[in-house]
């Protein structure tokens, strides 16, 4: 027993006796650099001189016999003669062996750390009937404060009600045991039953899932770190010619993201970078620069888009941008004819296609690349779990570039924790004006005025109506309301050729008002469309509204977004928060 006896005359007696008996080196492992310094000071005050070392190799090479190192070990160990030729033994003592009680207390405190957003700091934050989570009993409803006499002492308690009307009383002093319920709908929060093991099972399942995700991420990261990636060779002259073809002035953030991507690609490690930037801030140009570097080095590029419309738009933009270079770009989506698809697949396998742009069809098992070097994913949050599982298999092999305006929590968490690199484009393009956003109820006069104002300045309008069953009726009503407008509708259940024709006609300004479902959500770029009206905006998620608003304001004109909702008292509190 080497434990430090703080109340004894000589607290370090056991350690001092152990060192005297040992014919070799004593190495004490502290939990952290800060703890190592504090431990060194404590030992010196008791006339024990320990030298600090940074690495195990330094410890073994040192001629000192009393050493301090940083290593969070639970237990120590004894090595009889690890140093060949010197006959010295090595004893490694963990901080936990010296200060078992103190380390255990720190462990308990760390265990109680929870999401700062869910903590309740003050009783005024709780409303009667609000669901809360008790650390030991699960989800219940807060029913106010009760004053009880316990053992002759009058105390205040929080009253929590559980399934079946059962109640528990929690002392106000134990407020740290209670946190907010952060589930989807507080009104339908599932209350747990006191005395059952449902809550323990739920906690156990969550822990297991967390461990599974952590193991998966660590495995993926370890495979990527261990695998030697392809170091792309950059042709400075060809790259400079391509960069000069960009018709706009790059923003500082854009240049920083491009530089980070190219540095990743020319290094020996496989790239896994997330480029996060608001809609219309120039993420696509970053992807095009990366694609150019890959193709110039003889590698193929796959660009994945979540929707057919966005894939078609990327195909058009990539072909325009790469028009001055001998680079073959093809598309794969439901707009592509069967014969054309077959030819593209054969050309991909033979290496005759340099860049292929498509939807999740690109990750189907029958796709064969001759020399894939880079995968670009646009709007990653729109791909499902199954698609990401297939993409995951590519990650360890090739460079991966992800672009998103609204990253899902998992992507953001991986980026912030260092498992994926992150570039942020926060600077808007020069002369870009913010979109003016208004929340309003259905008002035919306002709708007519908003649409006519846009048409009179030569622009186009999106009218979002996310119900396929009634979209034709809404289109007719708008045609009657604004006979001056040329109005068409589009939705995802239309035949491919019809949908392609409508979107192409809108892009070429053959009509000026498009009534559409959320198929326009992902990345559709039409600079002349600068007004969007979103019907029943209360039914849309925050990321969806952000993406839809990003369909306008992609030029130097002031853009307008109208969020049309029912009266405030007939929509959910969560919807009100999203709209605000």
Convert the pLDDT of each residue in 65-114 to its tens digit: 888 988 878 788 887 765 434 567 888 888 888 876 554 444 444 444 44
Between strands 167-171 and 513-516, the pairing is: unpaired
The answer to whether 89 and 80 are in contact (CB under 8 A) is yes
- Using a CB cutoff of 8 Å and minimum separation of 24, what contacts does 118-126 make? 118/179, 118/180, 118/182, 119/176, 119/179, 119/180, 120/175, 120/178, 120/179, 120/180, 123/158, 123/172, 123/175, 126/158
The pLDDT of residue 281: 84
Torsions phi, psi for 225 (to 5 deg): -70, -35
**Against a cut of 0.85, is the pTM above it?**
no
User: Which residues does 62 contact at the CB level (< 8 Å), separation at least 6?
Assistant: 25, 51, 53
- The pLDDT of residue 388 is 58
Per-residue pLDDT, averaged over 127-135, amounts to: 87
Among 191-205, 245-259, 369-383, the range scoring the smallest mean pLDDT is: 369-383
Between 430 and 120, where is the model more confident?
430
Q: Which residues of 48-82 are buried (b: 16+ CB within 10 A; e: fewer)?
A: bebeebeeeeebbeeeebebbbbbebeebeeeeee
Burial string for 175-189 (b: 16+ CB within 10 Å, else e) reads bebbbbbeeeebeeb
What stretch of H or E contains 496? Answer: helix 496-507
CB atoms within 10 A of CB 320: 9
| Residue 205 token pair | 């399942």
Q: What is the mean pLDDT of the chain?
A: 83
Lowest model confidence (mean pLDDT) among 331-340, 397-406, 500-509, 556-565: 331-340
Q: Are 75 and 82 in contact (CB under 8 A)?
A: no
- pLDDT tens for 163-191 read 989 999 988 878 888 888 877 677 778 88
pLDDT at 341: 85
CATH of domain 13-108: 3.40.50.11140
Task: Grade residue 323 by pLDDT with cuts at 50, 70 and 90.
Answer: very high
The length of the chain, given as a count of residues: 580
* Fold type of domain 236-425: Rossmann fold (3.40.50)
108-134 average pLDDT score: 62
Look at residue 117 and tell me whether its pLDDT is greater than 70. Answer: no
Confidence of residue 417 (pLDDT cuts 50, 70, 90): low
pLDDT in tens, 430-467: 777 888 999 999 999 999 999 999 999 999 999 999 99
Task: List strands edge to edge, sheet with 399-404.
Answer: 329-332, 355-358, 300-304, 372-378, 399-404, 272-277, 421-425
In 265-416, the DSSP E strands lie at 272-277, 300-304, 329-332, 355-358, 372-378, 399-404
Looking at per-residue pLDDT, the higher value among 381 and 5 belongs to 5
Whose tokens are 């507080």? That residue is 186
Looking at residue 90, what is its pLDDT? 84
CB contact set of 195 (below 8 Å; sequence gap of 6+): 166
pLDDT band at 16 (very low <50, low <70, confident <90, very high): confident
For residue 437, the cross-strand partners are: 561
Output 534 or 128, whichever has higher pLDDT: 534
pLDDT for the residue 97? 83
> What tokens does 311 get?
């894939």
Provide the pLDDT confidence category of residue 123 given band limits of 50, 70 and 90.
low
pLDDT of residue 387: 66
Please name every residue paired with 51 in a beta bridge, in sequence order, or none if there are none. 67
Q: Which fold has domain 123-196?
A: Thrombin, subunit H (2.40.10)
Query: What is the spatial distance between Cα 292 and Cα 242, in angstroms, rounded to a whole number?
Result: 8
Q: What mean pLDDT do residues 261-283 have?
A: 87
- The residue-averaged pLDDT of 264-288 equals 88
Give CA separation, 436 vs 444, 515, 532, 547, 562, in Å: 20, 20, 11, 15, 9
Q: What is the DSSP string of 430-462?
A: TTPPPPEEEEEE--HHHHHHHHHHHHHTT-EEE
- What per-residue confidence (pLDDT) applies to 350? 93
The class level of CATH for 436-579 reads alpha beta
């Amino acid at each position: 027993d080497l434990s430090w006896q703080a109340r004894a005359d000589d607290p370090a007696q056991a350690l001092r006796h152990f060192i005297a008996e040992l014919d070799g080196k004593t190495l004490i492992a502290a939990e952290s650099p800060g703890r190592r310094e504090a431990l060194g000071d404590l030992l010196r005050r008791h006339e024990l001189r320990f030298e600090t070392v940074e690495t195990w190799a330094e410890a073994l090479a040192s001629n000192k016999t009393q050493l301090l190192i940083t290593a969070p070990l639970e237990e120590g160990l004894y090595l009889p003669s690890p140093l060949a030729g010197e006959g010295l033994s090595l004893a490694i003592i963990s901080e936990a062996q010296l200060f078992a009680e103190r380390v255990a207390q720190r462990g308990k405190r760390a265990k109680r750390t929870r999401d700062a957003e869910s903590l309740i700091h003050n009783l005024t934050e709780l409303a009667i009937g609000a669901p809360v989570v008790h650390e030991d009993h699960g989800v219940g409803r807060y029913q106010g404060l009760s004053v009880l006499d316990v053992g002759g002492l009058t105390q205040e308690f929080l009253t929590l009600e559980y399934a079946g009307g059962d109640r528990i009383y929690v002392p106000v002093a134990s407020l740290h045991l209670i946190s907010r319920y952060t589930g989807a709908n507080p009104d339908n929060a599932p209350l747990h039953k006191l005395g059952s093991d449902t809550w323990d099972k739920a906690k156990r399942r969550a822990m297991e899932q967390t461990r599974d995700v952590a193991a998966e991420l660590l495995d993926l990261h370890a495979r990527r770190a261990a695998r030697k990636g392809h170091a792309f060779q950059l042709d400075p002259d060809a790259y400079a010619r391509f960069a000069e073809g960009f018709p706009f002035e790059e923003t500082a953030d854009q240049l920083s993201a491009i530089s980070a991507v190219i540095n990743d690609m020319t290094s020996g490690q496989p790239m896994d970078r997330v480029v996060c930037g608001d809609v219309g801030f120039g993420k696509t140009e970053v992807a095009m620069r990366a694609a150019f570097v890959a193709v110039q080095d003889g590698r193929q590029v796959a660009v994945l888009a979540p929707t057919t419309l966005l894939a078609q738009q990327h195909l058009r933009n990539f072909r325009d941008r790469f028009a001055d270079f001998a680079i073959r770009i093809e598309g794969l989506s439901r707009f592509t004819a069967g014969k054309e698809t077959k030819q593209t697949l054969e050309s991909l396998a033979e290496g005759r296609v340099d860049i292929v742009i498509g939807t999740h069809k690109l990750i189907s098992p029958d796709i064969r690349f001759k020399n894939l070097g880079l995968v670009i994913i646009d709007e990653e949050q729109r791909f499902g779990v199954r698609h990401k599982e297939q993409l995951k298999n590519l990650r360890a092999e090739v460079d991966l570039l992800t672009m998103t305006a609204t990253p899902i929590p998992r992507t953001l968490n991986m980026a912030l924790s260092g498992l994926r690199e992150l570039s942020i484009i926060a600077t808007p393009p020069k002369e870009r004006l913010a979109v003016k956003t208004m929340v309003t109820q259905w008002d035919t006069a306002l709708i007519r005025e908003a649409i006519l104002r846009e048409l009179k300045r030569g622009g186009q309008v999106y009218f979002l109506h996310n119900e396929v069953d009634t979209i034709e009726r809404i289109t007719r009503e708008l045609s009657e309301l604004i006979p001056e407008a040329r109005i068409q509708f589009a939705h995802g259940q239309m035949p491919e050729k019809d949908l392609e024709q409508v979107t192409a006609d809108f892009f070429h300004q053959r009509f000026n008002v498009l009534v559409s479902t959320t198929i326009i959500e992902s990345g559709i770029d039409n600079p002349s469309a600068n007004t969007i009206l979103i019907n029943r905006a209360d039914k849309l998620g925050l990321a969806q509204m952000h993406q839809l608003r990003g369909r306008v304001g992609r030029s130097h004109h002031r853009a307008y977004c109208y969020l049309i909702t029912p009266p405030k008292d007939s929509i959910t509190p969560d919807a009100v928060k999203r709209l605000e």
